[in-house]
Structure 1
Amino acid sequence: MRLVQVLIPQGSRESVLESLDRQGIDYAVFEEVGRGEFEAMVQFPVPPSGVETVIEELTTAGVRDDSYTIVLPTETVVSQRLSALKERFPGLRISREELHARAEDLAPANSTFFSFLILSTVIAATGLLLDSAATIIGAMVVAPLMGPAVSASVGAILADRRMASRGVVLQVTGLAAAIATAALLGVILQQTILIPPGVDIQAIPQVAERTSPNVLSLFLALGSGIAGAISIMRGSGSTLVGVAIAVALVPPAATSGLGLAFGLPAVAVAGAVLVVVNLLAINLSALILFYLSGFTPLDADEREGVRASVASRIAVLGVAIAVLSLVLAGVTYASFQTASFEQQTQAELQRQFDEADIEGVELVSVTVDYRPVDYLLGNQPRVDVLVGIPRDLQAPPDLAQRFDDQLTEGLDRDVVVRVGFVEAQVSDDAATRASTAGLAPAGTPLDRPSVPLNRVSVVLDRPPFLHAPEGRP
């Protein structure tokens, strides 16, 4: 419930009270002696979704725009007379006046906004370099991006151009500052002993996750924008929603900055694309939800113009997201192809080993180095195969090439194969295996392995087909 207090201008008392009576609203009237232009103050409880309608009726009855109207949240209202009002005004949607006030409160002062955003970026960049998801989440709690994201949409819907433009400017300049901050931090850290020389940040999982953005990233941003709009309309969960919005924006911005610092344009571009797509999606989803919720400008004369303005804004954002989504779709397809290739390669090699059925020989591991960017650039996949063989069995010298031929034929893709061999022993009990060097059979003390640790011979060639030498099955 809300408690509404309205100062009634001179000469409007009777019409205002009649309007409240017609709407079936219980009220209390107090004489106003503070200022001569108002003759009384009236206060009454009303459900949140009814505040906007009641205030519009009071404006028609004589309450001017320059009058004081205060809307207060109430903890509890005990009355049997409110059931009719609750039935008349169901739902939890707040009034446009309350929405405007909340949006203003969420957008902090510039100094506060940039201070928290820079600190958040520093923490997020550190978390990326440490591959620490917990640190990155901690950075999101600090990031103040929910306010500008929501206020930009609220300002557009309510025809408050100052609020809308400030929200857009804070988002754009804030994320640009985040990228610059991460780049500067990356340059500084490279001059210290905190980062090993020659480190490849693309190999860090938290960084790699944001350098291959796919269509699923778009759902995160759309969901964050919708959650932001709902939270401000319902007045709940704004802190957690702010974290969700920050997750969609700050880590990719920090990734883009680190890409610039480490001289990796592909990383910088991928992170920047993800930032832009998420930023547009958050604003689009929030704008659409506010529009569908029926919010209109405070000034009735501007409502028609705002509808056209909001429609054009939605169209521009939608087209921009659609264009950039082509990049996400390409990465998504490339990720699917690389994952499928890895799965097919492992299955094909395992099949070859199973069909060969050479006693004592087994496939230890298959590692495929093939990333979405390799697929998009046409680079060949690299397959690393580790084979365990008995000491008395000589490894085929052309195994890598045979694997290469079989994989190229079976998967219709040129590959580069490396095959490594490690000596292994098999106990009399087929259930007990020592497939890698240093593993002892059952009953042998762990500090005295029965299988000697021998050198690993590696064939650097193209992939192979495992076959049984003469005299063996």
Structure 2
Amino acid sequence: MLHLRMITPADRTEAVVKAIETTVGTTHLVVLPGAAREPRGDVVMCDVAREAGDELLQELRRLRIGEDGSIAVENIDLSLSRRADAAEEEAPGEAADAVLWEQLTEATHEESTLSITYVAFMILATMIAACGVVLDNAILIVGAMAVGPEFGPLAGVCTGLVQRRPRLALRSLAALLIGFALAIAATTLFSLGMDAIGQFHEGMLDSPRPNTGFIWKPDPFSFVVSLLAGVAGVLSLTSAKSGALVGVAISVTTVPAGANAAVALSYGELAQMWGSAEQLLLNLGGIMLAGVLTLYGQKALWATQRGRWARRPAKT
């Protein structure tokens, strides 16, 4: 269940209440006339089944409640109520399958911000991966994959394209490309510094690396894995199962490929550098393609159910 708390202009409160009452899967409606001070208006609260949340939010946006008042949405971890149970039963489908597009857009917007923290995580992850590729240490590679924050901008690009929000897509793409560019540049300097103090040497990069040599040798399996990871990552976001993102992060060679490119560049190993760059672009492209297709598939699935659950006669 979701809990909605709204501040509504007094002249639109009746329309908001009607929208809530006629939406499948809503309950626990509370109206507090004149309770809000900033902005001034009425406070309206209700609970709604996650499956019906997106339809209700769209209607509230149509009434411009977000522009002239406010809409806050919270997940309810525990609700001991027969009415809540009945509301969830009334809304067809499963909560885990429902997509809250406004929530997804907001989450990806935050995750794709080109902030100091985001860049710092990108640089640190790439430096850890550089140590992993030079030492042929799979544990360090997995750790770097888990630390890397690149899936946020990837999801932002997918969401922006599907929702036709070009600013979000361009913002996310810029964060992705600039983040990798800065991380590779910083890791190149890091590699040169490690070489200067005797911790890295060119022979470590040229010697056989059974655990990490695949990073700069893209093949069809790389693209297949990136497609599967893209689907899994988007599903983990839309279903609020963020724990699955850890598995997605350590399944695709993005940050390690950037790290191998940086180390190879520092030693002038152009073959490895271009191979790593190709691996990186292949995986990024595969994730974005799969993410876009998954979101379109989810959108089509819920569109087919809209006629059944979006609106019903007012509840008595």
Aligned partner of 2:261 in structure 1 is 256
Q: Residues of 2 paired with 1:90 and 1:13: CA distance?
A: 29
- Pick closer, same or farther for the CA change 1:18–1:159 going to 2, 3 Å: same
- Pick closer, same or farther for the CA change 1:44–1:284 going to 2, 3 Å: same
Find out whether 1:167 has 2:172 as its counterpart: yes
**CA contact under 8 A between 2:39 and 2:69: conserved in structure 1?**
no
Provide TM-score, normalisation by structure 2. 0.83
**CA contact under 8 A between 2:114 and 2:175: conserved in structure 1?**
no
| Root-mean-square deviation (Å) | 2.5
Alignment of 1:73-472 (within 5 A): 73-82=75-84, 83-91=86-94, 92=96, 93-195=98-200, 198-199=203-204, 201-236=206-241, 237=243, 239-241=245-247, 243-244=249-250, 247-294=252-299
Instruction: Quote how far apart the aligned CAs of 1:208 are.
Output: 2.0
1:207-252 residue CA offsets vs partner (Å, 9 max, x unmatched):
422232211111221122112211110111255146236x420111
- Pick closer, same or farther for the CA change 1:31–1:220 going to 2, 3 Å: same
Aligned residues: 294
Q: Residues of 2 paired with 1:62 and 1:88: CA distance?
A: 25
Alignment of 1:25-40 (within 5 A): 25-26=26-27, 27-35=29-37, 38-40=40-42
**Where does structure 2 lack aligned partners over 5 or more consecutive residues?**
301-316
- Whichever residue aligns with residue 173 of structure 1, its letter is I
Aligned partner of 1:21 in structure 2 is 21
- Secondary structure class of the residue paired with 1:248: coil
- Whichever residue aligns with residue 44 of structure 1, its letter is C
**CA contact under 8 A between 2:257 and 2:280: conserved in structure 1?**
yes
- Whichever residue aligns with residue 78 of structure 2, its letter is T
Q: 1:68 aligns with which of 64, 67, 70?
A: 70
Question: Between Structure 1 and Structure 2, whose CA radius of gyration is higher?
Answer: 1
Instruction: Quote how far apart the aligned CAs of 1:141 are.
Output: 2.4
- % same residue: 24
Aligned partner of 1:8 in structure 2 is 8
- Pick closer, same or farther for the CA change 1:174–1:206 going to 2, 3 Å: farther
Q: Residues of 2 paired with 1:256 and 1:219: CA distance?
A: 22
Task: Tell me which protein shows more helix as a share of its residues.
Answer: 2
Q: Residues of 1 paired with 2:260 and 2:64: CA distance?
A: 56
Instruction: Quote how far apart the aligned CAs of 1:81 are.
Output: 2.4
Instruction: Quote how far apart the aligned CAs of 1:195 are.
Output: 3.7
**CA contact under 8 A between 2:5 and 2:71: conserved in structure 1?**
yes
- Whichever residue aligns with residue 213 of structure 1, its letter is P
- Pick closer, same or farther for the CA change 1:208–1:55 going to 2, 3 Å: closer
- Pick closer, same or farther for the CA change 1:44–1:209 going to 2, 3 Å: same
**CA contact under 8 A between 1:145 and 1:242: conserved in structure 2?**
no
**Where does structure 1 lack aligned partners over 5 or more consecutive residues?**
296-473
**CA contact under 8 A between 2:36 and 2:42: conserved in structure 1?**
no
- Whichever residue aligns with residue 125 of structure 1, its letter is A
- Whichever residue aligns with residue 5 of structure 1, its letter is R
Aligned partner of 1:358 in structure 2 is none
- Secondary structure class of the residue paired with 1:105: helix
Q: Residues of 1 paired with 2:39 and 2:195: CA distance?
A: 68
- Pick closer, same or farther for the CA change 1:162–1:262 going to 2, 3 Å: same
Q: Residues of 1 paired with 2:89 and 2:246: CA distance?
A: 29
Q: Residues of 1 paired with 2:205 and 2:19: CA distance?
A: 71
**CA contact under 8 A between 1:4 and 1:45: conserved in structure 2?**
yes
Q: Residues of 1 paired with 2:78 and 2:175: CA distance?
A: 38
Provide TM-score, normalisation by structure 1. 0.57
- Secondary structure class of the residue paired with 1:235: coil
The worse-fitting range, judged by mean Cα deviation, of 33-42 and 143-152 is 33-42
Q: Residues of 1 paired with 2:59 and 2:124: CA distance?
A: 47
- Secondary structure class of the residue paired with 1:76: coil
- Whichever residue aligns with residue 86 of structure 1, its letter is E
- Pick closer, same or farther for the CA change 1:33–1:65 going to 2, 3 Å: same
- Whichever residue aligns with residue 19 of structure 1, its letter is A
Instruction: Quote how far apart the aligned CAs of 1:271 are.
Output: 0.7
1:138-186 residue CA offsets vs partner (Å, 9 max, x unmatched):
2222211121111121222233333211210111122223333333333
Q: Residues of 2 paired with 1:234 and 1:112: CA distance?
A: 26
**CA contact under 8 A between 1:154 and 1:287: conserved in structure 2?**
yes
